[in-house]
Structures are given as structure tokens and as C-alpha cells.
Structure 1
Amino acid sequence: MPDFLVGSALAAAATAIGALPALIFRRGTHRFRDLLLGLCAGVMMAAAVFELIPRSLGMSDFIVVVLGVSGGMLFLSLLETTIPHHHLDHEGKNVRVDRKAVLIVSAIALHNLPEGLSVGVSYGSGVEGLGPLIALSIGFQNMPEGFLVAIYLIQQRVKLFIAFLVAVLTGFVEFFAAIAGYLLTGFFVTAVPFGLAFAAGSMLYVIYKELIPESHGDGNALQATYSFMAGLIGMLWLINWF
């Protein structure tokens, strides 16, 4: 099997590995849910501001980044208008469809798409060692994202298997994107910067519009803020490490 297929598959499978602990830590109080929202916001903030936007800016220019970020925000705004507006309840009732869960999953899936393209383009670039390095770094960053998707869905009363499957599917977006990036390296070299900025805009929209306000609505604002900082610092450490 070609090396790029192995590297791409391992990077995508890291999301599933990260989702596994969520099957154990599946119960929690309302405070735990607010802490989770803060943690998720911190991880996504670090990924958007310290990884996606700088990489996009380094590969293109300010105009491309602005267009990409704006496009991601507008896309999520449009998506939000088409999702049933069931809000998280505060009495523990079973809400079957949750707008925030769909937005979070969509934002992370969008984030994984250009990262998958980056893996494929890196392998197809011909630069020795670049493909495995990018695949490894993105794989490690996928682990907390897989956990966050799975645990958040489980907190919304989604069945364990379905929550795990959705988390896995968000990761395997990368695998198919990596194949496309490898096969069409010349084309996607120009498309990746816009895609990275687009994913960053979608994640920033979810953070400011949904996650932070929701985590501050029930008297747990201080704890959620600390959780946000923990998620941001933890993800920043991973980004800096690689």
C-alpha cells in the first residue's frame, strides 16, 4: 500500500482513538456539560487562530484569508438557518435534535477537510519526510477533536454507537480529502489556503455564537472560562510540539 494511504489513514484513525475515552466518561452534571463546552471552545479557538489561519496566511495572502474566514462564517450562518432550532434544555429532558451539536460536528468536519488536503499535498509534493510529519502532527491534533465530538453528542443523549460513529466519520473526511489532495496536488496547492481559512471562520462562528454563550448561561461562567483556557493551552501545546 502506498505510504500516503497509510499515513492518511492513521491520521484519520486518530479521531476514533480520541473518541474512545468518551464512551467511558459519558455521564456528567450540567456543570460538566458547561465545562465541556468551554473546553471544546478552547480547543477550536487554538486550532483556528494558531494553526489554520497562520498556515493559510503563510501559503497565500491577506485577501485569501479574509475571503476564506468570511466564507466559513457565512456558510455556518446559512447552515444554522436550516437546522431545527431546538435549544439545550436546562431540566435534563431528552432533546432529540440539537442545533449546537450539528454546528460543532459540521465545523470540525470542515476543519478536517483542508487538513486532509494538506496531508495529501504534502505527500505529493516530493519533499522528503514532509508527508509523514504533517500526517503525524494532524493525527495527534485529531485526538482531542474526536473526544469532544463524541462526548458532546453523548451528553445530548445520542446513543453511544452513533456518537462514536459520527466522531469517526468526521475524521475520515480527512482520509478521502488526503487522497484527493495527493492525486490532484497541483490543483489543491492553490485551494488549501482558502480551505484552511474557511474552516477557521466556521469554527470561530461556532465558538462565539454558540459555545461560549451557552457555557455561561447557568452560573458556571468562571469554571467554563478556566476550562476554555485549559483547552486552548492544551491544543496550543500540541500545535507547538509539532
Structure 2
Amino acid sequence: MSGVLLGSILSALATGLGALPILLLQGSITHRWRDILLAFTAGIMMTAAMLGLIPEALNYGGIIEVSVGLILGVLTLTSLEKVIPHIDLEHSISGIQFDEKAMLIIAAITLHNIPEGLSVGVSYASTVNDTGNLIAFAIGLQNAPEGFLVALFLINQNIGKGKAFLIATATGAVEIVASLLGYYLTSFIDFLIPYGLSFAAGAMLFIIYKELIPESHGDGNEGNATYSFIIGILFMVILINSF
């Protein structure tokens, strides 16, 4: 219990850590660096899903359980996006601009943090050592640039830097609740573990392919984004092999 609580808190607080530089930022981040960050985190999440969550799900169940859980994860994210649509970045060379209201941005980002929290909690319910730590670390690495971008979103909506930092940090807090929920459900109902792990993998893969990769390729930075994606994969492979 203490492990999942600590892991979920640290991965969630990574959102605030990523938003911290916004307090010192004088200008706006370029699309090039934004695309590199998105692609790098996509590589990290891809490796965590394919080498962490899915193999672990197969250890607990068969291909049917894994397929059902993965499809449910994708369908759940698809349904959630219809309720609160994803806020796409407006692609322009001059900078990142938004026309949507700040509250919708906050709601969308918070909503998309739920499956990430579930991923952490379900992973800690696994009996294999360090699976939870691995996924929590991967989600934390993904949360850091996300927190930076969320704070940047809010500043572009004429919200002060301090308030933008606090709001960006708060969007990650939902992951703690989702993590504990995923942990308790899979811990006390054993047969849910393969479904939960593959559900989390499906949700992560949906986010990667639906959001992170397309957004990193929208401004002519496909080459840099591709290399960054591969570096993210290699970084996580080295991490998994080391720990």
C-alpha cells in the first residue's frame, strides 16, 4: 500500500516539477522543442506499455484477457474524448496559441490523466517486483513535459504564471485517486489483474498514437520527432534492462 501511494504521488507531482520552469520562462517554447518533448515521452510510454504492461498481463492471463482489456482501454478513451474533447495545439511556426477556454483545457488534461493513474495502480497490484515502480517512473517522465505544456496553455489564456503553475500541478492530482482505485480493484479481485494491465496499456497506446505522435508531426519537425521517439524508446529499454 505504501509503495503504490508513494509511487502515485511522485508520478503525479512530476506534473508540477515539469511546470516549474514556466515561472522563469520569458518567452514561449518553440514548436520544434515541443515536438521533441512530445515524441520523447511517446517513446517512453510505448516501451512501458509494450515491455512492461502487456508482458505482465500475459503472465496473469491469456491472449483473450489481454485483447479484451486492451480493446476496453482504447474504447474507454474514445468515449471519454467524446464527452470532453482533446484540445489540439494550433500548428503555427510563430508559437503555440489556443482559442479554447482555459477551463476546458484543464478538464481535458485532467481527464486524460485518469488512465495514467490507473496504469500506476494496476501495475503495483502485480506481484512481479518493480513493475509498479517502472510504470510510475514512465508516467512521471511523461507528466513532466505535460505539466510544462499545461502551464504554457494557461499563460496563453492570460493566466498569471503562479496560478498557471498551481493549476498545472493540480491536474496531476487526479492520478493519485485513479491509482489507488486501480490498485484496490485489482488487488482484491485477482482475475481483474490481466484485464487491468492490458486496459492501462490500451489507454496508453491510444494516447500515444492519437495524440502525442500526430501532434509531434504537425509543424515540419517529423525528423527531429522521430529521432526523439527512438531515443525515448532506447532510454526506457536501458532503464528496464538495468533495473
Q: TM-score, with normalisation over the residues of structure 2?
A: 0.78
Alignment of 1:55-134 (within 5 A): 55-84=56-85, 86-91=87-92, 92-96=96-100, 106=111, 108-120=113-125, 122=127, 133=130
User: Is 2:69–2:196's contact at 8 Å kept on the other side of the alignment?
Assistant: yes
Unaligned runs of at least 5 residues, structure 1? 123-129
Alignment of 1:1-242 (within 5 A): 4=1, 6-26=2-22, 27-84=28-85, 86-91=87-92, 92-96=96-100, 106=111, 108-120=113-125, 122=127, 133=130, 136-157=133-154, 159-179=164-184, 181-182=186-187, 184=188, 187=189, 189-242=190-243
Deviations 1:171-200 (A, max 9, x none): 443234435555x2xx1x210110111111
Q: RMSD across aligned C-alpha pairs, in angstroms? A: 2.9
Q: How many Å separate the matches in 1 of 2:73 and 2:45?
A: 14
User: Is 1:140–1:238's contact at 8 Å kept on the other side of the alignment?
Assistant: no
Q: How many Å separate the matches in 1 of 2:133 and 2:201?
A: 21
How many residue pairs were aligned?
226
Identity in percent: 33
Residues 205 and 137 of structure 1: is their aligned pair in 2 closer, same or farther, counting only changes over 3 Å? Answer: closer
Residues 34 and 23 of structure 1: is their aligned pair in 2 closer, same or farther, counting only changes over 3 Å? Answer: same
User: Is 1:142–1:171's contact at 8 Å kept on the other side of the alignment?
Assistant: no
Residues 33 and 17 of structure 1: is their aligned pair in 2 closer, same or farther, counting only changes over 3 Å? Answer: same
Residues 157 and 171 of structure 1: is their aligned pair in 2 closer, same or farther, counting only changes over 3 Å? Answer: same
SS of the aligned residue for 1:196 comes to: helix
Unaligned runs of at least 5 residues, structure 2? 23-27, 156-163
Q: Give the drift of 1:135.
A: 5.1
Q: How many Å separate the matches in 2 of 1:119 and 1:85?
A: 28
Q: TM-score, with normalisation over the residues of structure 1?
A: 0.78
Stretch deviating more after TM superposition (6-15 or 189-198): 6-15
